[in-house]
Amino acid sequence: MAEQDGRKHELTGYVDIWWQAVDDLTTLLEGLDPEDWRRPTDLAGWDVHAVVAHTAHLESLLAGGEHADVDVSGASHVRNALGTFTEQGVVARRDRTPDELLVEVRESATRRRTALLADPPTDPDAPAPGAFGMVGWSTLTLLRNRPLDVWMHEQDVRRAVGRPGNLDSPAALHTVDYLSESLGLVLAKRVGAPAGTTAAVRVEGRPERRFRVGDDGRGHEVAASDGAADTTLDLGVEAFALLAGGRRPADSVDLAVTGDADLGRRLAGAMAVTP
Question: Across the 275 residues of the chain, what is the mean pLDDT of every consecutive 10-residue run?
Answer: 64 97 98 98 96 98 93 83 91 97 98 96 94 93 97 98 98 97 97 98 96 98 93 98 96 97 98 85
Per CATH, the architecture of 181-269 is what?
Answer: 2-Layer Sandwich (3.30)
> What are the beta bridge partners of residue 240?
none
Ordered by start, the domain boundaries in the chain are 2-162, 181-269
DSSP 250: G
CATH of 2-162, one of 1.20.120.450, 3.30.465.10, 3.30.70.100, 3.40.50.850: 1.20.120.450
Backbone angles phi, psi at 172, to 5 degrees: -65, -45
Q: Output the pLDDT for position 161.
A: 98
Asked whether 185 and 210 are in contact (CB, 8 A), the reply is no
Q: Which amino acid is at 29?
A: L
